[in-house]
Amino acid sequence: MSLILSIAVDGIAYGMILFMISVGLSITMGLMRIINLAHGAFALLGGAVVHLLTTRMEVAFIPALLVAVFAVVLIAVLLERVLFRQIYGFTELGQVLATIGIVFIMIASINFFLGSTILPIGVPAMFTTSVDLGFRTLPFHRLVVIVSGLLVLGGLWLLMERTRFGIYLRAAVDNRAAAASLGINTPYVYLVAFAIGAGLAAVGGVLGAELLPIEAYYPLRYMVLFLIVVSVGGLGSISGSFFASIGLGILDTAGRYLLPGIGTIFFFVAIAVLLALRPNGLMGKAQ
Amino acid sequence: MRITHYTVCLIASAAFSMASTVAQAETVKVGVIATFSGPNAIWGKQFREAIDVYVAQHGDQAGGHKIEFIYKDVGGPNADASKAAAQELLVREGVKYLAGFDFTPNAVAVAPLTKQAKVPAIIFNAATSSINKQSDFFLRTSFTLTQLAQPAAEWAAKNGAKKVVTAVSDYNPGIDAETAFSATFEQNGGDVLKKIRMPLQTTDFAPFVQRIKNSGADTVFTFLPVGPATFAFTKAYNENGLKGAGISFLGGGETDETTLDALGDQAIGLVTAYHYSDAHNSELNKSFVAKLQELHPGSRANMASVGAYDGVELIYRMVEAAGSDGAKAVEAAKGMEWESPRGPVKMDPVSRTVVQNVYLRRVEKGADGKLFNQEFATVPNVPDLGFNP
Amino acid sequence: MTMPVLSPPKPSRVHAVLGVLMPSVCVLIGAILAFLMFPYDLSFLTRIVIMMILVVSFDLILGQAGIATLGHAAMYGCGAYMAGLLALNVTQDPLLGLLAAALAGGLVAWLSGLVLLRTHGVALLMISIAVTMVLQEVASQARWLTGGADGLAGITIGPLLGLFEFDFIGQVAFIYSVCVLAVILVFCQILIRSPFGLALRGIDGSASRMRAIGTPVYRRKVTVYVIAGAIAGIAGALAAQVTGLVGIEVFNFSLSADVMVMLILGGAGRLYGALIGTLLFMVVHHVAASIDPFNWLFVIGLMLLLVVFVLPKGLVSLPGRVTRLWRRA
């Protein structure tokens, strides 16, 4: 019993991090229909900014996180205006080339300024304590991750269901051309969605740094993982991303508990089978 | 296929350069093959900086010859690139010594070339015992996993460990460490409860740490590749309360100087068995570390640095003894003894891996707020115990 | 993706033969020049040639049939291991090694293609990645067979055709690889110009229309995937034979990604594009990495962005772009 609970708790914590980083990617890939390989770079940038602020300038964690998210959103807006706006119009292959080029440049820049070793993040002392759950202890920061993940989910739900912007966004995801013809300012919707996605990636990157340590090659190292979450969840679906993240987190964790040795094989075979049966993911619409 | 003309040209030019060996002063080129880019770029960086330090301290002359280093990047474990780089170095640059080799496949791939060209290859890191079997021209100034894991097991057995869980990354070096440790530990009357192998790409270690915790062991022995994996594993060890549950940590490279500061204060108290700490108390090590700080501020010496530093020491001695005659140089190197920043070392004539002390160390915080590995016990003169010719 | 461009009807015979032979002739001339100009860089040139074979095979599926995968390393790696194991256990004949590797690559492509090619888009990309990851993990676990992370070592290859020993400088290896590339290019040109090749381009243009005119789309896709897999296997075998060692890195995701980047860089859908893209990518990488081993990635990133913004159809469209600008001026 405690084994099952352990799998659930560890899997959910892992899944929440995947969710926070990937949901922005899912929205942008579903909305703009672009193959965006550069998404992990925003998580890296967020982590790098917090690293700089907390370890080299002794800023506290929370303000540093806020600054990092703000900085990443700013960079994302700039990039959207200058580069991505053009990239939307490319063929899929052109998008692959352009976004991977952006990833390379970001990696090279971080590598140049901060080196290729792990960039630790100075978290509050409280994060490194453990909480007793009765059947086992849980690191406090995982609790933070789980709560933040739920907050992000709730916030996105409110945004999508309760605001005018959410209506525009859903309309644009469903049918771009029709949305535009109804007078929705789609370039603006794209810009905001892109910025939100990048900001969430930064939050996820920073909070998830204990599990997926920040280093220059972060966007390439975890690119496949994020893409798997998005494709299993279904492009453009927030709830799909959520269930996929949690499901994959639990699947991967269960593999580690129960099938060490062949856990990795089990994980990838499961994904291949799932996508073969449901090519549009759990919640995706037919492409 | 008329390639004879070219072969003749190349042989002629090779003969010409051979002829020049007779001349007194010569430039002996050393080709350094390592990873300078990509996620593992730290290896090449450490190698290069240590070489800089050695040259700054000892000059660029050995036995009347000028020593010149040429660096080649292979971008990680990549046998194809490593062999091509070695070929280019040997054929175009005319190097007389090869060096570097952070990953096992990169070293093994050049084995046939070293035999054909009779060029010694000094391994600064790659730690699989069997590499040296592939060519008589391999000389290793780093360590092998058995060399570390076996003393670690003996020490643990003598110092109160009864029940151990081994947790290693599921790839060859991890399994070498697991095998060596468990065999020795059991011979010494200990009990290995579980042998956990963790996927190489994993960075979420909570499930494994939880299993270690539930196993009822008193010690966990671990080996992981330095980088995100060691970082995440030591974090998981602390945060899941293994320390609190009285399970002691016994590792190897987990507290490597290049990632130690990233681990933060929670690393304090971690025990590892290893061959080098940048806090090793000797004059030579202090001057080595100080010179490194002077030339490359912000860098810290680690096992890769000392492997390269000693490798260059060995090359200088070999050049002194035999110039650019590879076969003679290897013979001269066998049995060589010298003082290294890690302590006394000797080139084992059989395994061609250095015989060295293995130290038990504990992470402590220095007066300057930096973490370091404090050596507190020594297992002297350990050869490569895993070598079977 | 690209519009289906059908060949002009019935060109003259001489024309057709020339067209088929042209890429191989270009490669041979280039190879001879390179051999004479860079006699000390043969090992690097050999790596370029092997990569060209791999990228050309990828062009068959991505460029011709429009099937985008990120798992081409799967077939390359299986070919490499097959050639290595054959040389260690059965025969050291290099050509038999290529044959066995082609069979291994084709077999893996057939088995995985049966599942893969029922999907498209992102799902196809992800399943192809998953297949490669599974193979890498298997290679890493089966230490008794593959040597695991240490690599499959000690591969020695007998003389080519029983006559030419693989030499120290790498001359035989280079000539051998170039010849294999030339033969494969002729084969690909014939394939592309055959009705089968036209069907592939039709599928790329519109699979549903092809289905409507009676083409068995799925079967055609599987067939081309198997052919491309066999050629990728040959590339892997060449790498194994030339290096004498196979590491689990042959299944790296980054290899599949690089192959795709090289093809798009040169221009998908044209064999010349595959050749030029590979050449440019590898040479820029090599030169940048030897000038600054730490920061060359920056140069590659800039190059990719530049090409995609200036020449969206790849480098191969450069002459057309230039002549158009010329005429306008």
Given a cut of 60, is residue B17 above it in pLDDT? no
* pLDDT score at C73: 95
CA atoms of A26 and B230, how far apart (whole Å): 31
Cβ-Cβ contacts under 8 Å, B206 against chain A: 10, 13-14, 139, 142, 253
Which token pair is C106? 């084709």
C-alpha distances in Å from residue B275, one per residue of A208, B180, B360? 33, 16, 9
Chain B contact probe: residue of A44, A110, A112, A118 with most B CBs at under 10 A? A118
Tens of pLDDT, residues B107-117: 999 999 999 89
ipTM of the complex: 0.87
Tell me what the mean pLDDT of segment C151-169 comes to. Answer: 82
Alpha-carbon distance of A58 to A180, in angstroms, equals 47
Query: What is the average pLDDT score of chain A?
Result: 87
Question: Which of C108, C143, C262, C264 is the best substitution to test chain A (most A C-beta atoms within 10 A)?
Answer: C264
Among all residues of chain A, which has the CA nearest to that of B257? Answer: A117
In this predicted structure, what is the pLDDT of residue B12? 45
A80 shares contact with chain B (CB less than 8 Å): no
Residues A216, A43: contact at Cβ < 8 Å? no
Q: Do B206 and A136 touch (CB under 8 A)?
A: no
Burial label, A58 (beta-carbon count in 10 A; 0-12, 13-18, 19+): exposed
Average pLDDT over residues A100-112: 91
Q: Which domains does chain B have, with CATH numbers?
A: 20-143+282-352 (3.40.50.2300), 146-274+358-382 (3.40.50.2300)
Measured between alpha carbons, how far is C176 from C35 in angstroms, rounded to an integer? 13
Q: Name the H helices within B188-272.
A: 206-214, 228-239, 257-263
For residue C46, which of C232, C276, C237, C238 has the smallest C-alpha distance? C238
Strands B65-73 and B27-34: parallel
What is the amino acid identity at position A136? R
φ, ψ of residue B49 to 5 degrees: the values are -65, -40
Q: What percent of chain A has pLDDT over 90?
A: 29
Residue of C nearest to B201 (CA): C137
Amino acid (one-letter) located at B359 = Y
CA distance B276 to B340: 10
Q: β-strands B121-123, B248-251: how paired?
A: unpaired
In one letter, which amino acid is C117? Answer: L
Task: Please report residues of C whose CB lies closer than 8 A to that of A108.
Answer: 295, 297-298, 301
pLDDT in tens, C140-157: 888 888 888 888 888 888
- Kindly determine whether residue A253 and residue B261, on different chains, have CB atoms separated by under 8 Å: no
Please judge whether C302 and A86 are an interchain contact, meaning their C-beta atoms are less than 8 angstroms apart: no
Q: Which pLDDT value is given to residue A63? A: 92
Q: Please give the Cα distance from B360 to B373 (Å, whole number).
A: 9
Q: Kindly report, residue by residue over A44-61, the tens digit of the pLDDT.
A: 999 999 999 998 888 889
Q: What is the mean pLDDT of residues B171-182?
A: 89
* Identity of residue B48: R
The DSSP code sequence of C103-167 is HHHHHHHHHHHHHHTT--HHHHHHHHHHHHHHHHHHHHH-HHHH-GGG-B-----PPBTTTBPPP
Are the beta carbons of B258 and A111 separated by less than 8 Å?
Answer: no
In this structure, what DSSP letter does residue C251 have?
A: G
Q: Quick one: pLDDT band at residue C102, thresholds 50, 70, 90? A: very high
Average pLDDT over residues A139-159: 89
Question: Which among A98, A112, A265 has the least Cβ separation from residue C308?
Answer: A98
What pLDDT does residue A42 have? 94
Backbone angles phi, psi at B237, to 5 degrees: -60, -45
- Among A96-100, B234-238, B354-358, C148-152, the range with the most confident prediction by mean pLDDT is B354-358
Nearest CB partner across the interface for B80, out of C143, C243, C297: C243
Average pLDDT over residues B375-386: 87
- Chain C residues at the A interface, defined by Cβ less than 8 Å, are 1-2, 62, 68, 115, 118-127, 129-131, 133-134, 137-138, 141, 253-254, 257, 260-261, 264-265, 268, 294-295, 297-298, 300-305, 307-309, 312
Q: Give the confidence band of A1 by pLDDT, cuts at 50, 70, 90.
A: low
User: Whole-angstrom Cα distance, residue A19 to residue C137?
Assistant: 26
The more confidently predicted of residues B94 and B24 is B94
CA-to-CA distance for B291 and B285, rounded, in angstroms?
10
Between the CA of residue A154 and those of A159, A160, B24, B77, what are the distances in Å?
9, 10, 79, 44
CB B271 within 8 A of CB B361: yes
Residue ranges of A 185-244 with Cβ closer than 8 A to chain B: 210-213, 215-217, 220-221
pTM above 0.80, yes or no: yes
Assign B22 a pLDDT band (cuts: 50, 70, 90).
very low
C44 lies within 8 A of chain B by CB: yes
pLDDT cut 90: percent of chain C above it:
42
**pLDDT given at position C7:** 52
pLDDT at B1 (0 to 100): 38
Whether C315 contacts C277, CB under 8 Å = yes
Whether chain B has a CB inside 8 Å of the CB on A54: the answer is no
Q: Which amino acid is at A205?
A: G
Residue ranges per structural domain of chain A: 2-218
Tell me if B154 sits within 8 A of B137, measured CB to CB: no
Q: Considering only CA atoms, which of C253, C267, C280, C233 is closest in space to residue C98?
A: C233
Give the model's confidence band at B211: pLDDT under 50 very low, under 70 low, under 90 confident, else very high.
confident
Cβ atoms of B350 and B356 within 8 Å: the answer is: no
Nearest-angstrom CA–CA distance, C11 and C208 = 29
Measured between CB atoms, which of C153, C290, C296 is closest to B108? C153
* A104 to C294: CB separation less than 8 angstroms, yes or no: no
